[in-house]
Chain A
Amino acid sequence: MKIAVLQYNAGNTYSVVNALCRLGVNPVLTDDIELLGDADKVIVPGQGAASQAMQYLRDHRLDQLLVTLRQPVLGICIGQQLFCQHSDEGNVDCLQLIDAPVHKFVPTHPDQKIPHMGWNSLHNVQGPLFDGIHEGDFVYFVHSYFVPQCPYTIATCDYIHPFSAALQKDNFYATQFHPEKSGKVGERILKNFLDL
Protein backbone atom coordinates (compact mmCIF):
# COMPACT_ATOMS: atom_id res chain seq x y z
CA MET A 1 0.00 0.00 0.00
CA LYS A 2 1.36 3.39 -1.02
CA ILE A 3 0.78 6.07 1.59
CA ALA A 4 1.69 9.66 0.75
CA VAL A 5 2.02 12.38 3.34
CA LEU A 6 1.77 15.86 1.88
CA GLN A 7 4.95 17.81 2.51
CA TYR A 8 4.27 21.50 2.74
CA ASN A 9 4.93 24.50 4.92
CA ALA A 10 2.54 23.52 7.70
CA GLY A 11 5.04 21.79 9.96
CA ASN A 12 4.63 18.68 12.05
CA THR A 13 4.81 16.35 9.06
CA TYR A 14 7.52 14.23 10.75
CA SER A 15 5.18 13.30 13.59
CA VAL A 16 2.72 11.80 11.13
CA VAL A 17 5.48 9.94 9.29
CA ASN A 18 6.81 8.56 12.59
CA ALA A 19 3.34 7.46 13.68
CA LEU A 20 2.79 5.65 10.37
CA CYS A 21 6.18 3.94 10.70
CA ARG A 22 5.14 2.72 14.16
CA LEU A 23 2.12 1.12 12.47
CA GLY A 24 4.45 -0.68 10.09
CA VAL A 25 3.90 1.37 6.95
CA ASN A 26 6.54 3.33 5.16
CA PRO A 27 4.98 6.52 3.86
CA VAL A 28 6.46 8.82 1.28
CA LEU A 29 6.69 12.46 2.35
CA THR A 30 6.19 14.48 -0.81
CA ASP A 31 4.69 17.47 -2.60
CA ASP A 32 5.06 15.76 -5.98
CA ILE A 33 1.73 15.84 -7.79
CA GLU A 34 2.28 12.50 -9.51
CA LEU A 35 3.30 10.64 -6.33
CA LEU A 36 0.34 12.09 -4.44
CA GLY A 37 -2.08 11.20 -7.23
CA ASP A 38 -0.76 7.63 -7.45
CA ALA A 39 -0.89 6.92 -3.72
CA ASP A 40 -3.50 4.57 -2.29
CA LYS A 41 -4.07 6.98 0.54
CA VAL A 42 -3.07 10.59 1.13
CA ILE A 43 -2.61 12.38 4.44
CA VAL A 44 -2.66 16.17 4.72
CA PRO A 45 -1.11 16.95 8.10
CA GLY A 46 -0.40 20.32 9.53
CA GLN A 47 -0.14 23.00 12.12
CA GLY A 48 0.14 26.71 11.71
CA ALA A 49 -1.95 29.24 9.82
CA ALA A 50 -4.62 28.38 7.23
CA SER A 51 -3.84 31.37 5.02
CA GLN A 52 -0.14 30.47 4.71
CA ALA A 53 -0.97 26.82 4.09
CA MET A 54 -3.48 27.72 1.35
CA GLN A 55 -0.98 30.06 -0.26
CA TYR A 56 1.56 27.26 -0.42
CA LEU A 57 -0.98 24.83 -1.89
CA ARG A 58 -1.94 27.38 -4.56
CA ASP A 59 1.66 28.27 -5.38
CA HIS A 60 2.41 24.60 -5.95
CA ARG A 61 -0.91 23.84 -7.71
CA LEU A 62 -1.61 21.31 -4.98
CA ASP A 63 -5.06 22.85 -4.40
CA GLN A 64 -6.15 21.71 -7.85
CA LEU A 65 -4.79 18.21 -7.28
CA LEU A 66 -6.27 17.66 -3.81
CA VAL A 67 -9.86 18.33 -4.84
CA THR A 68 -9.65 15.74 -7.63
CA LEU A 69 -8.38 12.87 -5.46
CA ARG A 70 -10.63 9.80 -5.34
CA GLN A 71 -8.63 7.68 -2.90
CA PRO A 72 -9.18 8.09 0.87
CA VAL A 73 -7.66 11.39 2.06
CA LEU A 74 -7.14 12.30 5.71
CA GLY A 75 -6.71 15.92 6.77
CA ILE A 76 -5.27 16.52 10.22
CA CYS A 77 -5.72 19.72 12.26
CA ILE A 78 -5.06 22.54 9.78
CA GLY A 79 -5.70 19.83 7.18
CA GLN A 80 -9.30 19.56 8.36
CA GLN A 81 -9.71 23.32 8.17
CA LEU A 82 -8.26 23.43 4.64
CA PHE A 83 -11.01 21.05 3.46
CA CYS A 84 -13.68 23.58 4.49
CA GLN A 85 -15.15 26.57 2.65
CA HIS A 86 -13.46 29.53 4.22
CA SER A 87 -11.31 30.22 7.28
CA ASP A 88 -11.49 33.30 9.46
CA GLU A 89 -7.77 32.75 10.07
CA GLY A 90 -6.32 35.19 7.56
CA ASN A 91 -9.80 35.46 5.95
CA VAL A 92 -8.93 32.89 3.29
CA ASP A 93 -10.96 30.72 0.91
CA CYS A 94 -10.04 27.08 1.47
CA LEU A 95 -10.40 23.97 -0.72
CA GLN A 96 -14.22 23.99 -0.37
CA LEU A 97 -14.52 20.23 -0.30
CA ILE A 98 -16.81 20.37 2.71
CA ASP A 99 -19.51 22.98 3.12
CA ALA A 100 -18.57 24.31 6.56
CA PRO A 101 -16.85 27.45 7.84
CA VAL A 102 -13.82 27.81 10.16
CA HIS A 103 -14.22 30.25 13.05
CA LYS A 104 -12.03 31.47 15.89
CA PHE A 105 -12.75 30.34 19.43
CA VAL A 106 -14.05 33.18 21.60
CA PRO A 107 -13.63 32.38 25.30
CA THR A 108 -16.49 33.18 27.67
CA HIS A 109 -14.54 32.51 30.88
CA PRO A 110 -10.92 33.22 31.99
CA ASP A 111 -10.33 29.48 32.46
CA GLN A 112 -11.04 28.93 28.75
CA LYS A 113 -7.56 29.30 27.29
CA ILE A 114 -6.76 29.76 23.60
CA PRO A 115 -5.29 27.70 21.98
CA HIS A 116 -7.49 24.78 22.97
CA MET A 117 -4.50 22.68 23.92
CA GLY A 118 -4.40 19.24 25.44
CA TRP A 119 -6.47 16.09 25.75
CA ASN A 120 -10.21 16.33 25.30
CA SER A 121 -12.91 13.70 24.90
CA LEU A 122 -14.62 12.57 21.70
CA HIS A 123 -18.38 12.27 21.47
CA ASN A 124 -20.95 11.09 18.91
CA VAL A 125 -18.27 9.13 17.06
CA GLN A 126 -19.52 7.41 13.93
CA GLY A 127 -18.29 5.57 10.87
CA PRO A 128 -15.30 3.38 10.03
CA LEU A 129 -12.67 5.95 11.07
CA PHE A 130 -13.79 5.47 14.68
CA ASP A 131 -14.10 1.69 14.65
CA GLY A 132 -13.18 0.51 18.15
CA ILE A 133 -13.18 4.05 19.54
CA HIS A 134 -15.51 4.73 22.43
CA GLU A 135 -17.61 7.66 23.55
CA GLY A 136 -15.42 9.77 25.84
CA ASP A 137 -12.04 8.54 24.58
CA PHE A 138 -9.39 11.26 24.85
CA VAL A 139 -7.37 12.66 21.95
CA TYR A 140 -4.86 15.52 21.69
CA PHE A 141 -5.92 18.90 20.33
CA VAL A 142 -3.95 22.09 19.59
CA HIS A 143 -5.93 24.77 17.77
CA SER A 144 -7.43 28.24 18.03
CA TYR A 145 -9.91 27.89 15.15
CA PHE A 146 -12.71 25.34 14.87
CA VAL A 147 -15.27 23.92 12.46
CA PRO A 148 -18.83 24.11 13.86
CA GLN A 149 -21.03 21.05 13.89
CA CYS A 150 -22.41 20.39 10.40
CA PRO A 151 -24.02 17.56 8.40
CA TYR A 152 -20.52 16.11 7.75
CA THR A 153 -19.53 15.91 11.43
CA ILE A 154 -18.52 12.34 12.40
CA ALA A 155 -17.27 13.16 15.92
CA THR A 156 -17.76 16.10 18.23
CA CYS A 157 -15.76 17.61 21.05
CA ASP A 158 -16.80 20.23 23.58
CA TYR A 159 -14.62 23.25 24.30
CA ILE A 160 -16.45 26.50 25.06
CA HIS A 161 -19.17 24.91 22.88
CA PRO A 162 -19.50 21.72 20.81
CA PHE A 163 -17.52 21.67 17.56
CA SER A 164 -16.51 19.18 14.86
CA ALA A 165 -13.71 16.94 16.11
CA ALA A 166 -13.87 15.06 12.80
CA LEU A 167 -15.54 15.38 9.42
CA GLN A 168 -16.20 13.12 6.48
CA LYS A 169 -17.52 13.73 3.01
CA ASP A 170 -17.16 10.94 0.47
CA ASN A 171 -13.45 9.94 0.40
CA PHE A 172 -12.35 12.98 2.43
CA TYR A 173 -11.83 12.37 6.13
CA ALA A 174 -10.55 14.94 8.58
CA THR A 175 -9.72 15.26 12.26
CA GLN A 176 -9.21 18.48 14.20
CA PHE A 177 -7.14 16.55 16.77
CA HIS A 178 -3.74 14.96 16.18
CA PRO A 179 -4.14 11.17 15.96
CA GLU A 180 -0.36 10.90 15.58
CA LYS A 181 0.02 12.34 19.10
CA SER A 182 -3.04 10.78 20.72
CA GLY A 183 -1.57 7.63 22.24
CA LYS A 184 -3.25 4.29 21.58
CA VAL A 185 -6.59 5.89 20.65
CA GLY A 186 -4.88 7.92 17.94
CA GLU A 187 -3.00 4.88 16.68
CA ARG A 188 -6.28 3.02 16.29
CA ILE A 189 -7.79 5.91 14.32
CA LEU A 190 -4.77 6.03 11.98
CA LYS A 191 -4.95 2.27 11.55
CA ASN A 192 -8.67 2.56 10.76
CA PHE A 193 -7.81 5.07 8.06
CA LEU A 194 -5.17 2.77 6.60
CA ASP A 195 -7.73 -0.06 6.61
CA LEU A 196 -10.39 1.93 4.70
Chain B
Amino acid sequence: MLAKRIIPCLDVKDGRTVKGTNFVQLHDAGDPVELGYEYSQQGADELVFLDITASHEGRKTFGDMVERVARNLNIPFTVGGGIHELSDVERLLTAGADKVSINSAALRHPELIDEITKRYGSQVCVVAIDAQETNGDWTCYVNGGRIPTDRSLFEWAHEAQERGAGEILFTSMNHDGVKNGFANEALCHLSSALSIPVIASGGAGTMEHFRDTFTQGHSSAALAASVFHYGEIRIPDLKHYLTKEGICVRL
Protein backbone atom coordinates (compact mmCIF):
# COMPACT_ATOMS: atom_id res chain seq x y z
CA MET B 1 0.00 0.00 0.00
CA LEU B 2 1.26 3.47 -0.83
CA ALA B 3 2.46 5.12 2.39
CA LYS B 4 1.59 8.65 3.45
CA ARG B 5 4.80 10.68 3.47
CA ILE B 6 6.28 12.70 6.33
CA ILE B 7 8.50 15.52 5.08
CA PRO B 8 10.63 17.77 7.31
CA CYS B 9 11.42 21.13 5.74
CA LEU B 10 14.75 22.85 6.40
CA ASP B 11 15.22 26.57 5.82
CA VAL B 12 18.75 27.29 4.68
CA LYS B 13 20.48 30.66 4.71
CA ASP B 14 24.05 31.05 3.47
CA GLY B 15 24.44 27.29 3.65
CA ARG B 16 23.27 26.97 7.25
CA THR B 17 19.93 25.80 8.67
CA VAL B 18 18.13 28.71 10.22
CA LYS B 19 15.86 27.36 12.90
CA GLY B 20 17.39 26.13 16.12
CA THR B 21 17.18 22.50 16.94
CA ASN B 22 17.57 20.35 19.97
CA PHE B 23 19.29 17.49 18.23
CA VAL B 24 21.89 17.41 20.95
CA GLN B 25 23.52 14.34 19.46
CA LEU B 26 24.52 16.28 16.36
CA HIS B 27 27.96 17.77 15.99
CA ASP B 28 26.57 20.73 14.17
CA ALA B 29 22.81 21.11 13.96
CA GLY B 30 23.33 24.12 11.73
CA ASP B 31 24.76 21.92 9.00
CA PRO B 32 21.91 21.07 6.62
CA VAL B 33 23.68 17.93 5.48
CA GLU B 34 24.11 16.55 8.98
CA LEU B 35 20.58 17.50 9.99
CA GLY B 36 19.12 16.04 6.79
CA TYR B 37 21.02 12.82 7.33
CA GLU B 38 19.74 12.63 10.92
CA TYR B 39 16.15 13.05 9.69
CA SER B 40 16.65 10.33 7.10
CA GLN B 41 17.91 7.99 9.83
CA GLN B 42 14.85 8.82 11.94
CA GLY B 43 12.54 7.74 9.12
CA ALA B 44 11.72 10.93 7.20
CA ASP B 45 10.36 9.92 3.81
CA GLU B 46 11.65 12.94 1.93
CA LEU B 47 13.24 16.26 2.76
CA VAL B 48 12.73 19.78 1.50
CA PHE B 49 15.58 22.30 1.59
CA LEU B 50 14.39 25.84 1.14
CA ASP B 51 16.99 28.45 0.24
CA ILE B 52 16.10 31.73 1.91
CA THR B 53 19.43 33.38 1.06
CA ALA B 54 19.19 36.77 -0.55
CA SER B 55 22.72 37.23 -1.86
CA HIS B 56 24.24 35.88 -5.03
CA GLU B 57 27.20 34.33 -3.15
CA GLY B 58 24.75 32.54 -0.88
CA ARG B 59 23.15 30.91 -3.91
CA LYS B 60 26.47 29.32 -4.82
CA THR B 61 26.78 28.02 -1.25
CA PHE B 62 23.32 26.47 -1.59
CA GLY B 63 24.37 24.68 -4.77
CA ASP B 64 27.40 23.26 -2.97
CA MET B 65 25.14 22.15 -0.13
CA VAL B 66 22.81 20.39 -2.58
CA GLU B 67 25.79 18.45 -3.91
CA ARG B 68 26.80 17.38 -0.42
CA VAL B 69 23.23 16.40 0.47
CA ALA B 70 22.99 14.31 -2.70
CA ARG B 71 26.20 12.47 -1.87
CA ASN B 72 25.09 11.65 1.65
CA LEU B 73 21.33 11.11 1.56
CA ASN B 74 19.61 7.90 0.40
CA ILE B 75 16.07 9.31 0.30
CA PRO B 76 14.55 11.79 -2.17
CA PHE B 77 14.89 15.51 -1.56
CA THR B 78 13.39 18.65 -3.02
CA VAL B 79 15.03 22.05 -3.19
CA GLY B 80 13.29 25.37 -3.50
CA GLY B 81 13.83 29.08 -3.12
CA GLY B 82 15.41 31.43 -5.59
CA ILE B 83 14.39 29.49 -8.69
CA HIS B 84 13.58 32.00 -11.42
CA GLU B 85 14.29 30.24 -14.68
CA LEU B 86 15.12 26.95 -16.31
CA SER B 87 18.87 27.41 -15.79
CA ASP B 88 18.33 27.54 -11.99
CA VAL B 89 16.47 24.24 -12.23
CA GLU B 90 19.21 22.68 -14.32
CA ARG B 91 21.87 23.81 -11.83
CA LEU B 92 20.05 22.27 -8.86
CA LEU B 93 19.12 19.01 -10.60
CA THR B 94 22.68 18.64 -11.85
CA ALA B 95 23.88 19.15 -8.28
CA GLY B 96 21.76 16.10 -7.39
CA ALA B 97 18.36 17.34 -6.23
CA ASP B 98 15.50 14.97 -7.08
CA LYS B 99 12.85 17.65 -7.39
CA VAL B 100 12.61 21.42 -7.46
CA SER B 101 9.88 23.44 -5.85
CA ILE B 102 8.82 26.62 -7.63
CA ASN B 103 6.51 29.23 -6.19
CA SER B 104 6.55 32.93 -7.14
CA ALA B 105 8.34 32.30 -10.44
CA ALA B 106 5.59 29.91 -11.52
CA LEU B 107 2.85 32.42 -10.73
CA ARG B 108 4.71 35.15 -12.62
CA HIS B 109 5.68 32.92 -15.54
CA PRO B 110 3.39 29.86 -15.59
CA GLU B 111 5.10 28.60 -18.74
CA LEU B 112 8.14 27.81 -16.55
CA ILE B 113 6.19 24.72 -15.40
CA ASP B 114 5.81 23.55 -19.01
CA GLU B 115 9.50 24.17 -19.67
CA ILE B 116 10.64 22.24 -16.61
CA THR B 117 8.36 19.27 -17.15
CA LYS B 118 9.08 19.04 -20.86
CA ARG B 119 12.80 19.02 -20.20
CA TYR B 120 12.96 16.90 -17.03
CA GLY B 121 9.57 15.24 -16.58
CA SER B 122 6.65 16.02 -14.29
CA GLN B 123 8.14 14.14 -11.36
CA VAL B 124 10.80 16.82 -10.74
CA CYS B 125 8.38 19.73 -10.64
CA VAL B 126 6.70 20.59 -7.35
CA VAL B 127 4.56 23.71 -7.54
CA ALA B 128 4.42 25.35 -4.11
CA ILE B 129 1.45 27.60 -3.43
CA ASP B 130 1.14 30.00 -0.50
CA ALA B 131 -2.48 31.00 -0.13
CA GLN B 132 -4.61 32.88 2.36
CA GLU B 133 -8.31 32.55 2.98
CA THR B 134 -10.51 35.60 3.36
CA ASN B 135 -14.29 35.24 3.47
CA GLY B 136 -14.09 31.78 1.96
CA ASP B 137 -11.84 32.78 -0.94
CA TRP B 138 -8.30 31.45 -1.16
CA THR B 139 -5.88 33.93 -2.73
CA CYS B 140 -2.37 33.00 -3.91
CA TYR B 141 0.55 35.08 -2.67
CA VAL B 142 4.07 35.58 -4.01
CA ASN B 143 7.37 36.65 -2.42
CA GLY B 144 7.07 34.41 0.61
CA GLY B 145 3.49 35.40 1.33
CA ARG B 146 4.09 39.15 1.12
CA ILE B 147 2.32 40.11 -2.11
CA PRO B 148 -1.21 38.99 -3.03
CA THR B 149 -2.01 38.02 -6.61
CA ASP B 150 -5.28 37.87 -8.52
CA ARG B 151 -5.13 34.09 -8.70
CA SER B 152 -7.25 31.77 -6.60
CA LEU B 153 -5.75 28.65 -5.03
CA PHE B 154 -7.96 26.08 -6.74
CA GLU B 155 -7.84 27.65 -10.16
CA TRP B 156 -4.05 28.09 -10.04
CA ALA B 157 -3.43 24.58 -8.69
CA HIS B 158 -5.48 23.16 -11.54
CA GLU B 159 -3.57 25.19 -14.11
CA ALA B 160 -0.26 24.04 -12.59
CA GLN B 161 -1.39 20.43 -12.91
CA GLU B 162 -2.47 20.93 -16.52
CA ARG B 163 0.90 22.49 -17.30
CA GLY B 164 2.59 19.34 -16.01
CA ALA B 165 3.36 19.84 -12.30
CA GLY B 166 4.04 16.53 -10.54
CA GLU B 167 2.88 17.63 -7.09
CA ILE B 168 1.26 20.59 -5.36
CA LEU B 169 2.75 21.77 -2.07
CA PHE B 170 0.02 23.90 -0.50
CA THR B 171 0.82 26.12 2.48
CA SER B 172 -2.11 27.78 4.19
CA MET B 173 -0.94 31.17 5.42
CA ASN B 174 -3.88 31.19 7.85
CA HIS B 175 -2.63 28.01 9.48
CA ASP B 176 1.15 28.39 9.10
CA GLY B 177 2.94 28.91 12.42
CA VAL B 178 -0.27 28.63 14.46
CA LYS B 179 0.24 24.93 15.27
CA ASN B 180 -3.50 24.37 15.30
CA GLY B 181 -3.74 21.80 12.52
CA PHE B 182 -3.56 21.83 8.71
CA ALA B 183 -6.13 23.48 6.41
CA ASN B 184 -7.93 20.19 5.91
CA GLU B 185 -11.08 21.52 4.31
CA ALA B 186 -9.16 23.30 1.57
CA LEU B 187 -6.78 20.35 1.27
CA CYS B 188 -9.67 17.94 0.82
CA HIS B 189 -11.16 20.20 -1.84
CA LEU B 190 -7.78 20.48 -3.57
CA SER B 191 -7.05 16.78 -3.38
CA SER B 192 -10.41 15.75 -4.84
CA ALA B 193 -10.11 18.35 -7.62
CA LEU B 194 -6.59 17.28 -8.67
CA SER B 195 -5.20 14.04 -10.07
CA ILE B 196 -1.65 14.71 -8.78
CA PRO B 197 -0.47 14.32 -5.15
CA VAL B 198 -1.02 17.19 -2.72
CA ILE B 199 1.44 17.91 0.11
CA ALA B 200 -0.08 19.62 3.16
CA SER B 201 1.95 22.38 4.78
CA GLY B 202 1.32 24.84 7.57
CA GLY B 203 -0.22 24.20 10.95
CA ALA B 204 1.37 21.04 12.33
CA GLY B 205 1.41 21.13 16.13
CA THR B 206 0.49 17.65 17.32
CA MET B 207 0.54 14.11 16.02
CA GLU B 208 -3.25 14.23 15.72
CA HIS B 209 -2.87 17.05 13.20
CA PHE B 210 -0.93 14.73 10.91
CA ARG B 211 -3.57 12.02 11.26
CA ASP B 212 -6.32 14.51 10.43
CA THR B 213 -4.67 15.89 7.33
CA PHE B 214 -4.40 12.35 5.96
CA THR B 215 -7.92 11.24 6.92
CA GLN B 216 -9.85 14.51 6.49
CA GLY B 217 -7.59 16.46 4.13
CA HIS B 218 -6.80 13.42 1.92
CA SER B 219 -3.24 14.75 1.62
CA SER B 220 -0.63 12.43 0.13
CA ALA B 221 2.11 13.88 2.32
CA ALA B 222 2.53 16.29 5.22
CA LEU B 223 5.34 18.80 5.57
CA ALA B 224 6.42 20.49 8.78
CA ALA B 225 9.39 22.36 10.14
CA SER B 226 9.44 23.57 13.72
CA VAL B 227 7.72 20.59 15.40
CA PHE B 228 10.54 18.46 14.05
CA HIS B 229 13.40 20.94 14.47
CA TYR B 230 12.57 21.67 18.09
CA GLY B 231 12.01 18.00 18.83
CA GLU B 232 8.36 18.52 19.82
CA ILE B 233 7.44 15.56 17.64
CA ARG B 234 9.90 12.78 16.88
CA ILE B 235 9.40 11.12 13.51
CA PRO B 236 9.56 7.53 14.85
CA ASP B 237 6.91 8.36 17.47
CA LEU B 238 4.76 10.05 14.84
CA LYS B 239 4.96 7.07 12.52
CA HIS B 240 4.08 4.60 15.26
CA TYR B 241 1.15 6.79 16.24
CA LEU B 242 -0.11 7.01 12.64
CA THR B 243 0.23 3.23 12.21
CA LYS B 244 -1.82 2.72 15.36
CA GLU B 245 -4.42 5.08 13.90
CA GLY B 246 -4.67 2.87 10.81
CA ILE B 247 -2.71 5.12 8.47
CA CYS B 248 -0.14 3.46 6.21
CA VAL B 249 3.33 4.91 6.74
CA ARG B 250 6.80 3.51 6.09
CA LEU B 251 8.23 2.18 9.34
Residues on B lying within 8 angstroms of A by beta carbon are 1-5, 40, 45, 70-72, 74-76, 93-94, 96, 98, 120-124, 166-167, 191-192, 194-198, 218, 220-221, 250
Which listed residue, A47, A110, A180, A181, touches B121 by the CB 8 Å rule?
A47
A182 touches B2 (CB 8 A): no
A142 within 8 A of B: yes
Q: Specify which chain A residues have a CB less than 8 angstroms from the CB of B197 in the assembled complex.
A: 113, 115, 117-118
A interface bracket (residues with beta carbon within 8 Å of B):
35 or more
Chain A residues numbered 48-100 whose CB sits less than 8 Å from any CB in chain B: 48-49
- Offer 6 A-B interface pairs, CB within 8 angstroms, sorted by A: A22-B72, A22-B74, A140-B76, A143-B123, A178-B76, A182-B75
A114 engages B195 (CB within 8 Å)? yes
Contact between A119 and B250 (Cβ–Cβ < 8 Å)? yes
| Among B3, B71, B192, contact of A138 (Cβ-Cβ < 8 Å) | B3
Partner of B70, one of A14, A118, A140, A143: A14
Cβ B74 vs Cβ A49 within 8 A: no
Among B1, B40, B123, B191, point to the contact of A47 (Cβ < 8 A): B123
Contact partner, B3, options A49, A113, A120, A184, Cβ 8 Å = A120
Which residues in A have their C-beta under 8 angstroms from that of B221? 118
| Among B5, B70, B74, B220, contact of A187 (Cβ-Cβ < 8 Å) | B74
Q: Indicate if the CB atoms of A119 and B123 lie closer than 8 Å.
A: no
Give chain B residues whose Cβ lies under 8 Å from the Cβ of A107: 195
Q: For B76, what are the chain A residues with a Cβ–Cβ distance below 8 Å?
A: 140, 142, 178, 181
Give Cα A178 to B2, complex, Å. 15
* Most chain A CB atoms below 10 A, which of B3, B121, B221: B121
Chain B residues whose CB sits within 8 angstroms of the CB of A34 once the complex forms: none
On chain B, the residues within 8 Å of A128 by CB distance are: none
B2's contact among A47, A48, A120, A186, by CB below 8 Å, is which? A120
Give every chain A residue within 8 A of B123 (Cβ-Cβ): 47, 115, 117, 142-143
Q: Does A133 contact B (CB under 8 A)?
A: no
Q: Knowing that A115-B196, A119-B250 are A-B contacts, what are 11 other residue pairs whose CB atoms are under 8 Å apart, sorted by A's residue number? A: A15-B98, A18-B96, A21-B71, A110-B192, A113-B195, A113-B196, A118-B45, A138-B3, A142-B76, A142-B166, A182-B75
Which of chain B's residues have a CB closer than 8 A to the CB of A115? 122-123, 166, 196-197
A131 within 8 A of B: no
Q: Which residues of chain A are within 8 angstroms of B3 by Cβ–Cβ distance?
A: 118-121, 138
Once the chains are docked, how many angstroms separate the CA of A36 from the CA of B58? 39
> Does chain B have a CB within 8 A of A35?
no
* Docked complex Cα distance between A15 and B197 (Å): 23
